[in-house]
Amino acid sequence: MPESILAALDTAGLEWLLLATLVAGFVYGFAGFGAALVFLPVGTIFLPPAVAIASFSVSSISSFVTVFPKALPLVDRKAVTILIVSATVSASLGIWVLTVTDVTILRWVVVTICGLTLCALIAGWRYELEPTAGARAGVGFAAGFVGGVSGLTGPIMVLFQLAGRDPVAVTRATTVVFLSTTSLLILPLMYLQNVLTVQAIALGLLFLLPYGIGAVLGQGLFHPGRERFYRVAAYVIIGGATLMGLPLWDRG
């Protein structure tokens, strides 16, 4: 592993990857979502999608000592368990699609999901009814599949949460618990399909510290009365990262 860490230190664009990880952690810390939306459009510029997704999933482990402990007491544990279990079940299918699909197509998938999610969140769509267990399972299944394909487990679930009427603190806590837990559970699934490589683990270990620091700093800014502030800031950062990740900017 030491040799792998040294090799990871020679990764092209490492300084940008570390910066993207720091910003991703910051957004996640105060908004409760958006980390993958920030990191992956940038990460896939310098890394193959599978490596970017797997390494970022490793770095997300730091959430369990930064934002997860304060979020867990606020969630509806039955509801979030349904989301987590259904997402984990479908993630394997998504990971398989990831391993057999063209890299450029996957990059377009990443930025398209980012862009569509951003537009939907800004539009402020809401639903009025209390979701059933079946509806939650469907949302979780869809989120897990998309997460396996693109690393973006959050968008569908985040849209579902933000479209509801829960208080800001509960919405944020639910997305934190869901995303932190699914990021951990998806790692053995990635390993079984040869996506969690030594390179991805080494990079993920390098990303642990900036992700954790960013999350702590972001969490310090969170306040239930500042909903508009943290949403707008997250949207701006996510939009910028999405534009940066467009394959249109590739040379040659």
pLDDT in tens, 144-183: 998 888 888 877 887 788 777 778 888 889 999 999 999 8
Alpha carbons 152 and 183: distance in angstroms, whole number: 10
Centre a 10 Å sphere on the Cβ of residue 223 and count the other Cβ atoms it contains: 12
* Separation CA 251–CA 235 (nearest Å): 27
pLDDT of residue 244: 73
Distance between CA atoms of residues 195 and 102, nearest Å: 15
Q: How does pLDDT run across 229-243, given as a tens digit for each residue?
A: 877 887 888 788 778
What token pair was written down for 67? 């934002």
pLDDT surpasses 80 at 130? no
Q: Please state, in angstroms and rounded to a whole number, the distance separating the CA atoms of residues 223 and 212.
A: 19
Answer whether 95's CB lies under 8 Å from 218's CB. no
* 28, HSE (Cβ side, Cα atoms, 13 Å): 37
Dmax over CA atoms of the chain, in Å, equals: 54
**DSSP calls for 190-231:** HHHTT-S-HHHHHHHHHHHHHHHHHHHHHHHH--GGGHHHHH
Cβ atoms of 54 and 196 within 8 Å: the answer is yes
Short-list 245, 240, 231, 244, CA closest to 31: 231
pLDDT tens digits, one per residue of 52-74: 999 999 999 999 999 999 999 99
What is the Cα–Cα distance from 157 to 143, expressed in whole angstroms? 6
CA–CA separation, 60 and 67 (whole Å)? 11
pLDDT at 99 over 70: yes
In the 8-state DSSP scheme, what is residue 164?
S
Contact 143, 181 (CB under 8 A): no
Lowest mean pLDDT among 8-12, 174-178, 208-212: 8-12
pLDDT surpassing 80 at residue 19: yes
